[in-house]
A and B are shown apart, each in its own frame.
Chain A
Amino acid sequence: MIQLQDIEKVYRTKTIETVALNRVNLHVERGEFVSIMGPSGCGKSTLLNIMGLLDEPTSGVVSIDGQPVKTHSDKQLAKLRNEKIGFVFQSYHLIHDLSVVDNVELPLLYRNISGGERRKRALAALEKVGLSTRTRHFPSQLSGGQRQRVAIARALAGAPEIILADEPTGNLDSVMGEEIMEILLRLNREEGTTIVMVTHDEHMAHKTNRLIRFFDGQQVADSLVLEAQI
């Protein structure tokens, strides 16, 4: 599904050079629920952004469905992001000026879909995250957990094959976190959506079926989570 080969990411500022990712090789298979763990600053977000085509690696090859994306134009990348990938960010990143349902419609906006159909799919996505009663609210009128559920609904609305979630529960208390986790697990189980999630929470990580550990820009472990460990 998504394949990373020899990915390096180096940030250069005037004084220092930070190697955020050092020769990373990773292949995420269709239908997997992968969690990524590692200490702060080890390059998890960088990795996720590169997987999601939001950022370019300094060197290495990113392939989506076997197709290297290096030579893709801005427009082609936008289309890939739009159709294949859904993002969930730690700090939600909802658009304040839009209502909940308009936020959820966002990925559909960049497709050739009628307004009525967009609305229908957005409402269905909100239904899945249990927010059918809050569609006309604005993000500022919602709790953190509700906001993250809106963000997940937005990621779902376009029916992407893969969802990339960067610490989706990082800003939430454990009860809310559990709720979000349940939604993601159900998505993976029932709809076969591939999910890659960065988390600091061992407990959450152990609910997924593959755990990758990072340290200093390098992959140090990649293990299937055994049912018994849960």
Chain B
Amino acid sequence: MLKNYFKIAWAVLQRRKFFTFISLFGISFTLMVLMVVTSLFDHVFGPQMPERGTDRLLFVNNLREEQGEGYSSSGPPSYYFLDRYVRRMQTPEKVSINSVFNPVNSYIHNKKLALDIKHTDQQFWEILDFHFLEGNPFGALEVKNASRVAVINQTTRKNYFGTGPALGQTIEVDQVKYRVIGVVEDVPVLRIQSYADVWVPITLKSQDFKDTGLRGGYFATIKARQAADIPKIKEEYARIIQQVSQLNPKEKKQVHSYPDTILESFARNFLGSGKEDKVGFLYTMLALAAFLFMLLPTINLVNINISRIMERASEIGVRKAFGASSNTIIGQFVVENVFLTLLGGLLGFLLSAGVLALINDSGIIIYAQLGLNLRVFAWGLFLCLVFGLISGVYPAFKMSRLHAVEALRGGSK
């Protein structure tokens, strides 16, 4: 039976080439876009090297000060604030303070190399899950002594040293010489909390430490003992902020800053003014966008399917006359549609793989390795089936209700 369904499905697809093309194109293109978007979303917000245990990680990357009417400013917090208040928090397992990445120039064989440098403490390496290809990170001693040592990424290593040895060699960045002690895999730029080309001890920037303003150029990365501690950490952080706001009651200053997950921090800073938590809003928007995006091709598909199935009214009549029940007819059309959509799905996957490979190769997103991960794959497959069912079941159901005589007459009613 099933074999026969497939046989006729295949025959129908071959005969109605235009219809098949439109359907397959619609399905595979829609899927492709969805897959690329999901993959990007995953890339930006999902757990990924070096931020792997994201359920235990929180990031502080913004602080907003409001004073009186209208005056407000926001940006990364200062070393002073993070060191004095955040570093001393009780609930987290570990806190790392690290600078935002700064663009610097480096020269090699008279060739300019634009690099991003980040100053970090030793906790940074303990909290995050960097993949060391060579050597090791710097530790407490190097940080304490402000040693001129550097961890560099793979690409910088290649540009600098080619295939020769890298460990123990020096690189010169912004006219300062550093000894290379480790090489890590490239970190995608969208991981703004961890990304850099060169990482050096934070104490090399100690001139920043004296500034007692609340805002500066630093991030904090917080690791919880367990995922369940996250709310406690947020509470403690809120208390600290409350305290900081009231340090100078005369100023009537209001301070806003939050330890966020990657997604929360994105939603808060890009969709809001840095105060409200906009994650719910972000999800609603994304769901709505995905829904609207899928709605059109689905309606289209349902339409094409209805007219296509109408065309086959006589076939339905004949099948009924020779013993197919309504359910059998529905079964046939559902199998046909699922077959078609899975085919479209397969094409969609190939297309997505191609497009993702193109994006990776083009280097639009620095060091990004977008991939068709299993989660995205499962999603795609699921969406395919939803497509197939929505676009097949309804018209099939409608047609199966037709009396055999009416169907034989051409389904005019």
Interface of A toward B, CB cutoff 8 Å: 49, 52, 54-56, 74-75, 77-79, 81-83, 86-87, 89, 93-98, 102, 106-107, 109-111, 115, 154, 158
**Is A78 within 8 A of B15, CB to CB?**
no
B373 contacts A by Cβ under 8 Å = no
Query: Which listed residue, A77, A82, A93, A111, touches B318 by the CB 8 Å rule?
Result: A93
Residue of A with least CB distance to B12: A97
**Is A97 within 8 A of B324, CB to CB?**
no
CA distance A93 to B1 in the complex (A): 21
Please give, as numbers and ranges, the residues of chain A lying within 8 Å of B327 by CB-CB distance: 74-75
**Is B15 within 8 A of A97, CB to CB?**
yes
User: How does the 8 Å CB contact mask read for B1-25 relative to A, with 1 for contact and 0 for none?
Assistant: 1011001100110010000000000
B149 contacts A by Cβ under 8 Å = no
- Give the Cβ gap from B1 to chain A, nearest Cβ, in Å: 7
Interface stretch among B84-92, B272-280, B296-304, B400-408? B400-408
B319 contacts A by Cβ under 8 Å = yes
- Give the Cβ gap from A93 to chain B, nearest Cβ, in Å: 5
**Is B405 within 8 A of A97, CB to CB?**
no
- Give the Cβ gap from B397 to chain A, nearest Cβ, in Å: 13
**Is B15 within 8 A of A110, CB to CB?**
no
**Is A109 within 8 A of B404, CB to CB?**
no
Residue in A52, A87, A97, A98 whose Cβ sees the most chain B Cβ within 10 Å? A97
B118 contacts A by Cβ under 8 Å = no
Please give, as numbers and ranges, the residues of chain B lying within 8 Å of A54 by CB-CB distance: 317, 320-321, 403-405, 408
**Is B322 within 8 A of A115, CB to CB?**
no
Known pairs A55-B403, A97-B11, A109-B4; A154 contacts B322 (CB<8 A) = yes
Known pairs A74-B326, A89-B408; A52 contacts B11 (CB<8 A) = no
CA distance A61 to B405 in the complex (A): 19
**Is A55 within 8 A of B15, CB to CB?**
no
Number of contacting residues on B, CB 8 A? 26
B66 contacts A by Cβ under 8 Å = no
Please give, as numbers and ranges, the residues of chain B lying within 8 Å of A111 by CB-CB distance: 323
B328 contacts A by Cβ under 8 Å = yes
CA distance A81 to B315 in the complex (A): 16
- Give the Cβ gap from B308 to chain A, nearest Cβ, in Å: 12
- Give the Cβ gap from A168 to chain B, nearest Cβ, in Å: 14
**Is A97 within 8 A of B8, CB to CB?**
yes
CA distance A74 to B323 in the complex (A): 10
CA distance A111 to B3 in the complex (A): 14
CA distance A221 to B318 in the complex (A): 31
**Is B403 within 8 A of A81, CB to CB?**
no
CA distance A87 to B323 in the complex (A): 11
Residue of B with least CB distance to A96: B15
Residue in B15, B322, B325 whose Cβ sees the most chain A Cβ within 10 Å? B322
- Give the Cβ gap from B40 to chain A, nearest Cβ, in Å: 42
Query: Dominant SS at the B interface?
Result: helix
A-B contact pairs, 20 of them (CB 8 A): A52-B321, A54-B408, A56-B403, A74-B327, A77-B325, A81-B321, A81-B323, A82-B322, A87-B322, A89-B408, A93-B408, A94-B318, A97-B8, A97-B15, A102-B4, A106-B322, A107-B323, A110-B322, A110-B323, A154-B322
B360 contacts A by Cβ under 8 Å = no
- Give the Cβ gap from B318 to chain A, nearest Cβ, in Å: 5
CA distance A55 to B405 in the complex (A): 6
Please give, as numbers and ranges, the residues of chain B lying within 8 Å of A97 by CB-CB distance: 8, 11-12, 15, 315
Please give, as numbers and ranges, the residues of chain A lying within 8 Å of B318 by CB-CB distance: 93-95, 106
B136 contacts A by Cβ under 8 Å = no
Please give, as numbers and ranges, the residues of chain A lying within 8 Å of B11 by CB-CB distance: 97-98
User: How does the 8 Å CB contact mask read for B287-317 relative to A, with 1 for contact and 0 for none?
Assistant: 0000000000000000000000000001101
CA distance A106 to B405 in the complex (A): 18
Please give, as numbers and ranges, the residues of chain A lying within 8 Å of B317 by CB-CB distance: 54, 93
Known pairs A97-B12, A102-B7, A109-B4; A55 contacts B404 (CB<8 A) = yes
Please give, as numbers and ranges, the residues of chain A lying within 8 Å of B314 by CB-CB distance: 93
CB contacts under 8 Å to A, within B380-412, are 403-405, 408
**Is B321 within 8 A of A158, CB to CB?**
no
Please give, as numbers and ranges, the residues of chain B lying within 8 Å of A56 by CB-CB distance: 403
CB contacts under 8 Å to A, within B153-206, are none
CA distance A94 to B403 in the complex (A): 18
- Give the Cβ gap from B327 to chain A, nearest Cβ, in Å: 7
**Is B323 within 8 A of A83, CB to CB?**
yes
CA distance A79 to B327 in the complex (A): 13
Residue of A with least CB distance to B327: A75
CA distance A95 to B291 in the complex (A): 38
Top 8 closest A-B pairs, CB basis? A82-B323, A78-B325, A110-B323, A54-B404, A97-B11, A107-B322, A55-B405, A75-B325
Residue of B with least CB distance to A164: B321
- Give the Cβ gap from B17 to chain A, nearest Cβ, in Å: 13
User: How does the 8 Å CB contact mask read for B322-345 relative to A, with 1 for contact and 0 for none?
Assistant: 111111100000000000000000
**Is B321 within 8 A of A87, CB to CB?**
yes
CA distance A75 to B328 in the complex (A): 9
- Give the Cβ gap from B366 to chain A, nearest Cβ, in Å: 52
CA distance A25 to B321 in the complex (A): 23
Residue in B12, B328, B403, B408 whose Cβ sees the most chain A Cβ within 10 Å? B408
**Is B408 within 8 A of A81, CB to CB?**
no
- Give the Cβ gap from B228 to chain A, nearest Cβ, in Å: 54
Please give, as numbers and ranges, the residues of chain A lying within 8 Å of B320 by CB-CB distance: 54, 78, 81
Please give, as numbers and ranges, the residues of chain B lying within 8 Å of A109 by CB-CB distance: 1, 4
Please give, as numbers and ranges, the residues of chain A lying within 8 Å of B321 by CB-CB distance: 52, 54, 81, 87, 93
Residue in B318, B324, B327 whose Cβ sees the most chain A Cβ within 10 Å? B318
